[in-house]
């Protein structure tokens, strides 16, 4: 295919002592190094993207193009790994943080970072899943690998109305689990039950659990929040239960004891979606294509244009964006 001379990107630039986001038209030669050139059609809006666009320090250098997700079509691959016209997905590996990301019409990447677009899906579906859905799938797989089964009891999802939480509820419900959703947005109860939650609890309930061992309740936990919420969930997890930990919306500290580990055999499972090994990455996307079709995501997804991202970024940081937001980079 004929390669363009220029591309459009949302760039975060230095502006005196602070930073700001602006749209720029750049030469293709200004893309970062990488053997694969991709024509990007869609990205998505994540909490990290909100931090990046509003100048909250997540970007390792400036100027930089945010966007920790992208999906599109291969234009050229000098390594021969991918063919022109192949649909590919890229999440993680530091894009949108350490190197230019998905908020642009074109991108470069290493061939080993890319996942083939699963058969029967498209780029818009991939970005309705995005890093959030991919992380949720890794968390569900981790609980299953730890032996958590639908018959074992309730599974808790914290930060339930967010992107990871929403997708985790849908995936767990589809797998047959009884899901309890924890949220600070009580007005979203109907939405969470529509996703598959069988019960909903308020945000304050878990931080209120202060004893080293609380009454056993959860067979498994997908925690998107951290901090005191994670501590309370951990203290109330059942014997031989497990917690998949993937978020810090409430803080990075964890004040607790080893008692659940050594007296109940509880497992704390770290979920790393950034450098997840390629075989597990591809397995997660293959399963997502089966368990989370576009029809299932329709009620939790909105599509907005790249031009709207500067206005959307502070909204996601304020907890005002529910579910998934797909970004049409040509919009």
Q: Write the CATH number for 101.
A: 3.90.180.10
Kindly state whether residue 276 falls inside one of the protein's structural domains. no
| Domain match, 33 and 104 both | yes
Kindly state whether residue 240 falls inside one of the protein's structural domains. yes
Which CATH number does the domain housing residue 221 bear?
Answer: 3.40.50.720
Summarize pLDDT for 27-58 with one digit per residue, the tens: 999 999 999 999 999 999 998 999 999 998 78
Summarize pLDDT for 52-88 with one digit per residue, the tens: 999 987 899 999 999 999 999 999 999 999 999 999 9
Pairing of strands 197-202, 179-183: parallel
Q: For the chain, how many structural domains are there in total? A: 2
| Domain match, 135 and 257 both | yes
Residue 46 backbone dihedrals phi, psi, to 5 degrees: -120, 170
Kindly state whether residue 283 falls inside one of the protein's structural domains. no
| Domain match, 145 and 251 both | yes
Kindly state whether residue 122 falls inside one of the protein's structural domains. no
Separation in Å, CA 168 to CA 30, 216, 248, 318: 38, 22, 16, 21
Kindly state whether residue 286 falls inside one of the protein's structural domains. no
**Alpha helices of the chain — where are they, by DSSP H?**
47-53, 123-145, 163-174, 189-195, 227-235, 259-263, 278-291, 294-297, 309-317
| Domain match, 145 and 246 both | yes
In the block, tokens 């009454």 appear at 215
Kindly state whether residue 109 falls inside one of the protein's structural domains. yes
Q: Which two tokens stand for residue 285?
A: 């996307």
Range of the domain at 320: 6-117+296-328
Which of 74-78, 247-251, 314-318 is the least confident region? 247-251
| Domain match, 140 and 113 both | no
Kindly state whether residue 290 falls inside one of the protein's structural domains. no
Separation in Å, CA 1 to CA 87, 110, 199, 211, 328: 15, 20, 52, 63, 22
| Domain match, 147 and 243 both | yes
Kindly state whether residue 235 falls inside one of the protein's structural domains. yes
Residue 1 confidence (pLDDT): 66
| Domain match, 101 and 171 both | no
**Contact by Cβ (8 Å): 192, 183:** yes
| Domain match, 83 and 185 both | no
Dihedral (Cα; 149, 154, 267, 215), 10-degree rounding: -140
């Amino acid at each position: 295919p004929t390669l363009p001379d220029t591309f459009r990107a949302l760039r975060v630039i230095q502006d005196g002592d602070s930073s700001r986001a602006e749209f720029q038209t750049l030469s293709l030669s200004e893309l970062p190094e990488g053997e694969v050139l991709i024509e990007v059609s869609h990205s998505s809006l994540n909490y990290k993207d909100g931090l990046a666009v509003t100048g909250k320090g997540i970007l390792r250098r400036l100027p930089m193009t945010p966007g920790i997700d992208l999906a599109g079509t291969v234009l050229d691959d000098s390594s021969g790994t991918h063919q022109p016209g192949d649909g590919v997905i890229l999440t993680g590996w530091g894009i949108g943080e350490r190197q230019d990301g998905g908020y642009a019409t074109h991108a470069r990447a290493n061939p080993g970072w890319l996942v083939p677009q699963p058969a029967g899906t498209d780029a818009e579906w991939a970005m309705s899943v995005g890093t959030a859905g991919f992380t949720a799938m890794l968390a569900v797989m981790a609980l299953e690998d730890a032996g958590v089964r639908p018959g074992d009891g309730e599974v808790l999802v914290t930060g339930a109305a967010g992107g990871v939480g929403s997708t985790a509820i849908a995936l767990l419900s589809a797998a047959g689990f009884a899901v309890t959703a924890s949220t600070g947005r009580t007005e979203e109860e109907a939405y969470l039950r529509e996703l598959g939650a069988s019960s909903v609890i308020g945000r304050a309930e878990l931080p209120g659990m202060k004893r080293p061992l609380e009454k056993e309740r959860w067979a498994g936990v997908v925690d998107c929040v951290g901090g005191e919420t994670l501590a309370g969930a951990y203290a109330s997890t059942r014997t031989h239960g497990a917690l998949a930990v993937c978020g810090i919306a409430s803080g990075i500290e964890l004040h607790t004891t080893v008692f659940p580990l050594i007296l109940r055999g509880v497992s704390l499972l770290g979920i790393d979606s950034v450098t997840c090994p390629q075989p597990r990455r591809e397995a997660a996307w293959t399963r997502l294509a089966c368990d989370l079709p576009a029809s299932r995501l329709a009620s939790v997804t909105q599509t907005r244009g790249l031009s709207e991202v500067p206005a959307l970024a502070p909204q996601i940081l304020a907890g005002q964006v529910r579910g998934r937001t797909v970004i049409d980079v040509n919009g």
